[in-house]
Amino acid sequence: MRIDAQDNIWVVDEYSSMVMKFDPQGRLLMLLGRKAESVPVPARPTTGDGAGQPTDLFDRPTDVAWDAAGNIFVADGLGNARIAKFTKDGVFVKSWGKKGTGNGEFANVRSIAVDSQGNVYAADGGNKRVQVFDNNGAFKTAISGVGNAQALCITKGANQVLYVSNSNPPNDIDRDGEIY
């Protein structure tokens, strides 16, 4: 769950593969990822690369974030391994990413954040890094040394700080989760 600049409540439902926007009074304002039953849904890609369909359909999304213009970024990160971008009105613009270890590829996308310059940060936990993209999905850099990145948050203001939370790796029971 996230709260946007207008105090709207956004809920990312991994298992229904939807992102829902509610106003502060709890009225549903927008649904992303759901199609009417009468609309044919394209078959899943057979490549298995996790890029998903180049559409607004999700497969186990995990997080949502916005830039200063109100564009919506969805971490479509567990079934697919991509980031989907929408206009502030919910119109699908593009997506980027697929399963892999290279730049712009993800093991999964657990969390997403956008800084004041519009750069998009993606927690690529399985690859133990945070990847940074420009607002249109071009890879900029990767931040390593953050363990199994699970959650991101960026402070507001002139000197923004990125916080990364990781989880206890399954094969390392002696370590607790950490915040970087």
The per-residue pLDDT for 44 is 52
Residue 125: strand, helix, or coil: helix
Q: How far apart are the C-alpha atoms of 114 and 121, rounded to whole Å?
A: 6
Is the pLDDT at 169 greater than 70, yes or no? no
Report angle CA 62, 66, 68 to the nearest 5 degrees: 170
For residue 55, what pLDDT band results from cuts at 50, 70 and 90?
confident
Over the range 30-51, which residues count as b (16 or more CB within 10 Å of their CB) and which as e?
bebbbeeeeeeeeeeeeeeebb
For residue 50, what pLDDT band results from cuts at 50, 70 and 90?
low
pLDDT digits (tens, 9 = 90+) for 57-105: 888 999 999 999 999 999 998 888 999 999 999 999 999 999 999 999 9
Average pLDDT, integer, range 144-168: 83
